[in-house]
């Protein structure tokens, strides 16, 4: 390998006993300060891989090496605000998607977009909002509306939550999915306002049934007719409403304003993003969250919140390291991206649906549960089989992904050097020595090296790596 790397074992990351004591990990001032590498907390391959798993969908070798050279803060600058022409990329791919005639085609194009995008964090956050504002194509039954829905999420994914939330009740796909296509003055429809409060903003316990009813009255007059949003003034209830302690002649925009004024909304979003970007295995204490909640509630700037989390000491601590289970999209693209090719995303979309993540089809209004629900006995078999299909060199994914070719490209031509390279590429050598040595011995045995199929040997070796427990963790 052309670049020497610090091989401080990532496997020991979660057990490091550096100066961040338990008290420090719960001290907001230290936790949210920007991470600065030092002798006890070095910037190494394990940390670079950690950052790319969370702020992207994995990294190829050049990206990992560039990250080592750039350091954490400059690497984050590029992930948060890439210099590429993102608008042009998005326009090009929006045009491709708009020509597709089905939700299945949209799934494939989204996956292709994620593989090729110069702004992976934008797609990562679009996926987050796709679960938060869950809308299922099977009920909407209109691919064009679903395309516009995901484009709406993408356009605001790293911008203003205030603007995004205001747009959601005027998205025909959302209203159709929730059964809120009609909202007459005589029969206010609560199908929008209930999830708006319980799932999208306040969370359970922060509103009453009367609040739901009054908010529904405020939204009267809005309809989806022939797949278009329409407002019919005579159907709006113009009388006074009482909502969350406020009284007035409220409209839907007033409801959004009042919901955003509630501290519970900022708290719900900060905690949910904490689970997505930092840790889903333990709930943070209220004191740790307070500075982020206070800051977020002032302007609802999503990028600023994500940046604070991703730059932080806490993010680069054992609290965050491999403390999330990869969703199926992260798992699959964590194999594809390092191997530097584009596979059949039509096939990949079908296979991801089979292991629990059918894009454009979140299972309920609460989206995907995530966490340990991703890795039950059935889905683990499915993940194993998907990894095998991707690595096989034949079948629906053809010969797109070739671990041996990628290893040779980066200067590793012998089976042993290629095997070590793949451990660094996929896991940043994040294994206990016993596991690592046992894997490498398989490459060193005559049965593995004397045959005429070194590519097949390395395919099998790569498959073993990506089915290890560590690879399923982000």
DSSP for 15-43, written as a single string: G---S--HHHHT-HHHHTSBP---SSS--
Retrieve residue 126's tokens: 């679009």
The whole-number pLDDT of residue 453 equals 75
If asked whether residues 295 and 410 sit together in one domain, one would say no
Q: Integer distance in angstroms from the first to the last C-alpha of the chain?
A: 25
Secondary structure letter of residue 445 according to DSSP:
S
Q: Which residues pair with 243 in a beta bridge?
A: 246
The whole-number pLDDT of residue 446 equals 55
The whole-number pLDDT of residue 448 equals 53
The whole-number pLDDT of residue 6 equals 39
Task: Note the helical H segments in 319-451.
Answer: 328-336, 345-354, 377-391, 403-409, 415-427, 433-444, 446-449
Length of the chain: 474
| Residue 185, in any domain of the structure | yes
Q: Element (H or E) spanning 320, and its range?
A: none
Retrieve residue 325's tokens: 């289970």
| Residue 424, in any domain of the structure | yes
C-alpha 133 chain-centroid distance = 14
| Residue 447, in any domain of the structure | yes
Q: What is the Cα–Cα distance from 374 to 357, expressed in whole angstroms?
A: 9
Q: What is the Cα–Cα distance from 83 to 80, expressed in whole angstroms?
A: 10
Q: What is the Cα–Cα distance from 297 to 14, expressed in whole angstroms?
A: 32
If asked whether residues 167 and 311 sit together in one domain, one would say yes
If asked whether residues 420 and 307 sit together in one domain, one would say no
Domain boundary among 319, 354, 381: 319
Domain boundary among 319, 348, 381: 319
Looking up tokens 């309920």, which residue turns up?
364
Q: Report yes or no on whether pTM surpasses 0.75.
A: yes
If asked whether residues 312 and 170 sit together in one domain, one would say yes
If asked whether residues 181 and 313 sit together in one domain, one would say yes
Domain boundary among 319, 347, 377: 319
pLDDT in tens, the chain (474 residues): 333 333 343 444 444 444 445 668 889 999 999 999 999 999 999 999 999 999 999 999 999 999 999 999 999 999 999 998 998 998 888 876 666 678 899 999 999 999 999 999 999 999 999 999 999 999 999 999 999 999 999 999 999 999 999 999 999 999 999 999 999 999 999 999 999 999 999 999 999 999 999 999 999 999 999 999 999 999 999 999 999 999 999 999 999 999 999 999 999 999 999 999 999 999 999 999 999 999 999 999 999 999 999 999 999 999 999 999 999 999 999 999 999 999 999 999 999 999 999 999 999 999 999 999 999 999 999 999 999 999 998 899 998 999 999 999 999 999 999 999 999 999 998 899 999 999 999 887 655 554 557 889 999 999 999 999 999 999
| Residue 455, in any domain of the structure | yes
Q: ∠ CA 430-436-439 to the nearest 5 degrees?
A: 130
| Residue 366, in any domain of the structure | no
| Residue 313, in any domain of the structure | yes
Closest listed residue to residue 312, CA positions, set 122, 72, 474, 120: 72
| Residue 274, in any domain of the structure | yes
Q: What is the Cα–Cα distance from 83 to 422, expressed in whole angstroms?
A: 29
Range of the domain at 422: 403-472
Closest listed residue to residue 158, CA positions, set 58, 55, 258, 297: 55
If asked whether residues 186 and 284 sit together in one domain, one would say yes
If asked whether residues 298 and 411 sit together in one domain, one would say no
If asked whether residues 282 and 187 sit together in one domain, one would say yes
Q: ∠ CA 305-303-317 to the nearest 5 degrees?
A: 50
| Residue 460, in any domain of the structure | yes
How many distinct structural domains can be found in the chain?
Answer: 2
């Amino acid at each position: 390998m052309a670049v020497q790397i610090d091989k401080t074992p990532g496997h020991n990351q979660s057990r490091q006993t550096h100066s961040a004591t338990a008290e420090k990990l719960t001290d907001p001032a230290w936790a949210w300060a920007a991470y600065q590498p030092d002798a006890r907390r070095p910037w190494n391959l394990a940390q670079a891989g950690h950052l790319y798993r969370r702020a992207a969908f994995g990294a190829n070798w050049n990206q990992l090496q560039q990250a080592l050279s750039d350091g954490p803060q400059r690497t984050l600058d590029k992930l948060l605000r890439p210099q590429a022409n993102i608008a042009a990329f998005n326009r090009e791919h929006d045009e491709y998607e708009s020509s597709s005639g089905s939700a299945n085609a949209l799934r494939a194009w989204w996956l292709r977009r994620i593989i090729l995008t110069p702004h992976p964090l934008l797609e990562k956050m679009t996926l987050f909002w796709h679960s938060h504002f869950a809308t299922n194509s099977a009920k909407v039954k209109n691919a064009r509306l679903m395309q516009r829905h995901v484009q709406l999420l993408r356009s605001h994914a790293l911008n203003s939550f205030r603007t995004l939330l205001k747009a959601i009740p005027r998205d025909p796909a959302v209203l159709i999915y929730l059964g809120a296509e009609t909202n007459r003055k005589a029969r206010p429809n609560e199908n929008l306002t209930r999830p708006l409060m319980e799932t999208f903003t306040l969370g359970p316990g922060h509103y009453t049934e009367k609040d739901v009813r009054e908010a529904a009255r405020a939204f009267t007059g809005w309809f989806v007719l022939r797949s278009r949003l329409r407002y019919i003034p005579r159907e709006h209830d113009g009388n006074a409403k009482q909502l969350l302690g406020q009284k007035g002649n409220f409209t839907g925009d007033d409801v959004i304003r009042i919901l955003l004024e509630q501290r519970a909304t900022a708290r719900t979003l900060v905690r949910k993003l904490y689970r997505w970007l930092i840790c889903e295995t333990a709930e943070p204490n209220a004191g740790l969250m307070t500075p982020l909640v206070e800051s977020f509630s002032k302007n609802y700037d999503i990028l600023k919140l994500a940046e604070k989390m991703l730059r932080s000491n806490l993010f680069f601590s054992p609290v965050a390291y491999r403390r999330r289970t990869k969703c199926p999209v992260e798992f699959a693209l964590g194999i594809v991206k390092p191997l530097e090719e584009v596979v059949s995303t039509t096939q990949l979309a079908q296979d991801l649906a089979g292991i629990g993540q059918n894009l454009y089809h979140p299972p309920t209004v609460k989206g995907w549960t995530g966490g340990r629900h991703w890795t039950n006995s059935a889905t683990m078999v499915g993940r194993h089989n998907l990894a095998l299909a991707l690595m096989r060199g034949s079948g629906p994914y053809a010969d797109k992904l070739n671990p041996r070719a990628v290893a040779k490209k980066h200067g590793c031509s012998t089976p042993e050097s290629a095997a070590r390279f793949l451990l660094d590429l996929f896991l940043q050598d994040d294994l206990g020595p016993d596991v690592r040595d046992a894997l490498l011995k398989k490459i060193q045995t005559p049965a593995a090296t004397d045959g005429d199929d070194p590519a097949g040997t390395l395919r099998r070796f790569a498959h073993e790596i990506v089915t290890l427990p560590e690879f399923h963790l982000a």
